[in-house]
């Protein structure tokens, strides 16, 4: 999302001359690149925090990385499961915990939903 559009389509050539429109395009591209860099930095930081927390838990609970991989797979399988929406009868992904068609909430109301 660019700094000057904020989710809306840019107003390009309808009321801007070509130079202004192309400058706006360049600025939007730079703003998007900046947003991506900020997100990359945040993801890298969260990854480091995750690793540090894992190492604390590993040391404390005597777990191995294999235990972590198994748990991740278990969670991934659970997230891919589906259920039938109680209101409209369509299939809903438990990962969404909300029917895409009618908005009915799923049964899982845990902290990660
Ligand atoms: Zn539904």
Using DSSP's 3-state secondary structure scheme, residue 83 falls into strand
Number of domains in the chain: 1
* Residue 78 predicted with pLDDT over 70: yes
50 occurs within a structural domain? yes
Asked whether residue 74 is domain-assigned, the answer is: no
User: Residue 27 corresponds to which tokens in the numbers above?
Assistant: 């600025």
48 in any annotated domain: yes
Non-local CB neighbours of 31 within 8 Å, separated by 6+ positions? 2, 3, 4
Is residue 79, in this structure, part of any structural domain at all?
no
Ligand 1 mean position to 91 CA, how many Å? Answer: 8
Residue 101 is assigned to a structural domain of this protein: no
> Does residue 68 lie within any of the structural domains?
no
3-state DSSP call for residue 24? helix
- The range of the structural domain enclosing residue 55 comes to 12-63
DSSP of 84-102: E-TTT--EEETTTTB-TTT
| CA 109–ligand 1 middle distance (angstroms) | 17
Predicted structure pTM score: 0.56
What pLDDT sits at residue 1? 47
For residue 40, is it within any domain? yes
* Ligand 1 geometric centre to CA of 112 (Å): 21
**pLDDT tens across 14-32, in order?**
678 999 999 999 999 999 9
Give the Å distance between the CA of 99 and the centre of ligand 1: 5
Task: Let me know: does 79 contact 110? Beta carbons within 8 Å.
Answer: no
Cα 106 to middle of ligand 1, angstroms: 9
Q: Is residue 29 part of a domain?
A: yes
pLDDT 10s digits, 31-61: 999 999 999 999 999 999 999 999 999 999 9
Give me the pLDDT at residue 112, please. Answer: 67
């Amino acid at each position: 999302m660019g700094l000057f559009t904020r989710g809306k389509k840019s107003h390009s050539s309808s009321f801007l001359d070509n130079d202004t429109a192309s400058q706006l395009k360049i600025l939007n591209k730079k703003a998007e690149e900046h947003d991506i860099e900020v997100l990359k930095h945040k993801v890298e930081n969260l990854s480091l925090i995750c690793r540090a927390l894992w190492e604390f838990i590993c040391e404390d609970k005597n777990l191995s990385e294999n235990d972590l991989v198994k748990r991740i797979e278990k969670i991934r399988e659970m997230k891919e499961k589906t259920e039938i929406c109680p209101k409209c009868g369509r299939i809903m992904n438990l990962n969404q915990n909300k029917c895409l068609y009618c908005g009915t909430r799923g049964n899982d109301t845990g902290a990660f939903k």
